[in-house]
Structure 1
Amino acid sequence: MANVITPAAPTRSLTTAEIAALALSLAHLGAGPQSVTARRGLRHAFEHLELDDDVIATTLATLTTPLPADVATRARVIADAITDRLVIRLHYRDAGGRITAREVDPVTCLVHREYWYLVGMCRMRRAIRAFRFDRIIAVEPTMIPARPHLAERFLPFQRRKAA
């Protein structure tokens, strides 16, 4: 008979940064056996959140759906760059179809509705930007150290508390 450990109920909700980190970790697992178990665990964690909003519900569904293999491969490079605090070079197609090469200090990744985003300091624009994963054509690691940025300051879709 296997020992089963029953965890205590969560005492607090996950922060936006924690959800982003968990989601990114799952993103580059692709659709393999580990990812199925991990996504099931993440869905279980979300069961304890109060979902009174269609945007949040859609976002959580996107978080727990595997990325296409090519996007998962790019997500792995992005995750490594965030962990190693290194600049990445993106080849990016914007909403208007223009393609640019950009060097980005990656800060975090997040999901909003049905899209994944890389949030980072774009060196070309000299400002924080969110890059949709499905518009990233290619991503290249560099050996350039990224400047430190706190993820909590750059999550554009999180709800702000009223002052």
Structure 2
Amino acid sequence: MANVIRHTGSLTTAELAALALSLAHLGAGPQSVTARRGLRHAFEHLDLDDDVIATTLSTLTTPMPPDVARRARAVAGAITTRQVVRIQYLDAGSALSVRDVEPVTCLVHRDYWYLVGWCRLRRGIRAFRFDRIVSVEPTDIPSRPHLPERYLPFQRRKVA
């Protein structure tokens, strides 16, 4: 007999982002299939007639390609340990740059996963598409604490 735990509250956007990132780089094994099904249940209250939400949910519950998953694991580790990562990044025009980034969170919008962080080169918050990140190198440089809730651009805001 299965145990069922009912949770009447809802998860915050930051909690969903953290769960989704944790699940995304699990691969395609049996545990990850069950975990992704659980994540879909967390979204049942949303209006899936909204194309943005439906596409985002599909991306959230699809395993990352193995090379992207390795980079996501490195970023997730840096978020946990609050360390700067050095990334090689190809922009939309295929220009390669090296950036030191204080990772804040990861999120999905439509078809893509993003690393959201404080870019030391540009001196501001930037979002980097994971499929354009060529490499992630952890550093021993401590990152300043950042509240992820302040850096989730695609969330719906409460009206005061």
TM-score, normalised to structure 2, is: 0.95
Aligned length: 160
1:87 aligns with 2:84: yes
Q: 1:14 to 1:52 in 2, by over 3 A?
A: farther
CA distance in 2, matches of 1:48, 1:76: 29
1:15 aligns with 2:8: no
Paired AA for residue 31 in structure 2: Q
| Alpha-carbon offset, residue 127 of structure 1 | 0.1
SS of residue paired to 1:21: helix
1:68-112 CA-to-partner distances (Å, cap 9, x unmatched) read 000001000000000010000000001111100000000000000
CA distance in 2, matches of 1:16, 1:153: 11
Correspondence for 1:27 among 5, 24, 27: 24
CA distance in 1, matches of 2:46, 2:8: 11
SS of residue paired to 2:85: strand
SS of residue paired to 2:42: helix
CA distance in 2, matches of 1:75, 1:30: 12
- State the partner residue of 1:37: 34
1:32-59 CA-to-partner distances (Å, cap 9, x unmatched) read 2221111111112222334341101110
SS of residue paired to 2:159: coil
Paired AA for residue 45 in structure 1: A
49-58 or 97-106: which moved more? 49-58
Report if aligned partners of 1:13, 1:49 keep a CA contact under 8 Å in 2: no
**CA-atom RMSD, angstroms?**
1.2
Correspondence for 2:119 among 122, 135, 140: 122
Overall identity of the aligned pairs, in % = 74
SS of residue paired to 1:118: strand
SS of residue paired to 1:57: helix
SS of residue paired to 1:162: coil
CA distance in 1, matches of 2:51, 2:9: 22
- State the partner residue of 1:6: 4
CA distance in 1, matches of 2:107, 2:2: 33
CA distance in 2, matches of 1:22, 1:129: 21
Paired AA for residue 146 in structure 1: S
Paired AA for residue 122 in structure 2: R
- State the partner residue of 2:110: 113
SS of residue paired to 2:94: coil
